Amino acid sequence: MLTRLFSDPSLLPEVHKYSGWVDDSGSEDSKTREEEHERCRLGLDDLEDADLRGGGSGSRAQSEIAAEDEDEDEEEEEEDGDGDGADGAVEEAEGGDEAEGHRPRKRGPKKREMTKARVERSKVRRQKANARERTRMHDLNSALDNLRKVVPCYSKTQKLSKIETLRLAKNYIWALSEILRNGKRPDVVSYVQTLCKGLSQPTTNLVAGCLQLSSRNFLTAEHQCQDSGGGGRFHGAGAPFSVHPYSYHHQHQCPRLSGPACQPSSSAHPAALRNHVGYCSTYEPVCVNGTFSGKQQDCGSPDADKPGYHYSVHYPAAPGSRAPPGHGLVLGSSGLRGGVHAPEGALPYHDMHAHHERTPGVYDELNAFFHN
């Protein structure tokens, strides 16, 4: 009977809401759907196992749940009156099989004996609650996936972990709000540093790789670094967002990135430079520092909630780059999901990209703002 929860086709639509967690567009193939269904069925097995697990604290909890059950059962005796007076608080838990014929003498709602019907009802209720919880978590994951797609880095094979996604999103929001607040193009160094604040090293690498790739795609020769002292000015025609200039090409041209301005001690954005990010050019090592340091002290900074991190960023070699693969690249393990761990210098460029490339219209307004 328990299997009805998942085998009953009328109940499957709810279960199959899972299938939307990957992509709202519904592009998921039927195989994935089947897998999800299978997972649901497996989950049922777990459920039944869990129900059978019932001993120890579990059985106690079940009896408590059952005690709330209103339905009367023919096997249940009705106890009349609350009985005892003030000292009615007698522990029913003494001994091993206290439930058998031993009535609780407590104040408050009577605890009813577990009958077969009650056990079954509580099981069903628990299973329904579990199914709801699963659905809820899948919805949450779906939302998280959507969030992954709108943060400045997206990879199908190397998904950002949940926590990293949230951190990056927070940094991204922070960076955008800073842009709006200041009303001018951000300093590039500050921008990337802000984005990478608090991120783990692997995620920092991934983000850097994404930004680098996107800029590589939309930066052209006329997009010169116009370092104007206070902040770099980067113009990428076709770049929906004009502050992703981290191409090797660009770095090669930009004296700022290879000059003193790239040193840890200098920044147009002091708060952002509390964690310093260095740059590694695949053409030549410039500004190789790559080590964040220092504690997050600025309560207004996007990482005021983080207790202090050490990270580094190393840019991977772009595909087709003349640089030796893996030059200056450090790829950690944690923080990246998907079972594919890119070897040094071998980030999956084919499916890794900044989201701007996929949704070129999303940032039109920002872009207009930047170019006004």
Residue 340, token pair as written in the block: 């594919």
On whether the CB atoms of residues 138 and 94 are closer than 8 A, the answer is no
Closer by beta carbon to DNA, 134 or else 269: 134
On whether the CB atoms of residues 301 and 274 are closer than 8 A, the answer is yes
Q: Is 341 in the site for DNA (CB under 7 A)?
A: yes
Piece in contact with DNA (CB under 7 A), picked from 74-82, 126-134, 346-354, 355-363: 126-134
Closer by beta carbon to DNA, 198 or else 232: 198
In the window 199-228, what residues touch DNA (CB under 7 A)? 200
Rounded least distance, CB 347 to DNA, Å: 12
Closer by beta carbon to DNA, 27 or else 57: 57
Rounded least distance, CB 17 to DNA, Å: 11
Listed residue (318, 347, 314, 311) closest to 328, CA to CA: 314
Q: Is 57 in the site for DNA (CB under 7 A)?
A: yes
On whether the CB atoms of residues 209 and 354 are closer than 8 A, the answer is no
Q: Which of 105, 138, 185, 355 binds DNA (CB under 7 A)?
A: 138
Q: Which residues contact 107 (CB under 8 A, 6 or more apart)?
A: 82, 88, 89
Q: Is 126 in the site for DNA (CB under 7 A)?
A: yes
Closer by beta carbon to DNA, 235 or else 306: 306
Instruction: Give the HSE-up count for residue 216: Cα atoms under 13 Å, Cβ half-sphere.
Output: 21
Give the DSSP H or E segment for 129: helix 116-150
Q: What is the residue type of 258? A: S
Strand partners, 84: none
Q: Is 43 in the site for DNA (CB under 7 A)?
A: yes
* 234 phi-psi bin (left φ>0, alpha ψ -120 to 50, beta other): beta
Q: Which of 136, 295, 310, 371 binds DNA (CB under 7 A)?
A: 136
- Residue 87, judged by CB atoms within 10 A of its CB (0-12, 13-18, 19+), counts as exposed
Residue with tokens 């001994």: 95
Question: What is the dihedral sign for C-alpha 75, 76, 78, 84?
Answer: positive
Rounded least distance, CB 71 to DNA, Å: 9
Q: Is 61 in the site for DNA (CB under 7 A)?
A: yes
- Residue 288, judged by CB atoms within 10 A of its CB (0-12, 13-18, 19+), counts as middle
CA angle 279, 233, 326 (to 5 degrees): 20
Rounded least distance, CB 74 to DNA, Å: 19
Draw the binding track, 82-121, toward DNA (x: CB under 7 A; -: no contact).
----------------------------------------
Q: Is 51 in the site for DNA (CB under 7 A)?
A: yes
Residue 19, token pair as written in the block: 């299938």
Closer by beta carbon to DNA, 64 or else 91: 64
Rounded least distance, CB 93 to DNA, Å: 13
On whether the CB atoms of residues 304 and 198 are closer than 8 A, the answer is no
On whether the CB atoms of residues 298 and 274 are closer than 8 A, the answer is yes
Rounded least distance, CB 339 to DNA, Å: 4
On whether the CB atoms of residues 307 and 291 are closer than 8 A, the answer is no
Draw the binding track, 1-40, toward DNA (x: CB under 7 A; -: no contact).
--------------------------------------xx
Rounded least distance, CB 28 to DNA, Å: 14
Rounded least distance, CB 162 to DNA, Å: 4
Q: Is 133 in the site for DNA (CB under 7 A)?
A: yes
Rounded least distance, CB 161 to DNA, Å: 3
Return residues touching DNA (CB under 7 A): 39-40, 43-44, 46-47, 50-51, 53, 57-58, 61-62, 64-65, 68, 70, 125-134, 136-138, 141, 159, 161-164, 200, 331-335, 337, 339-341
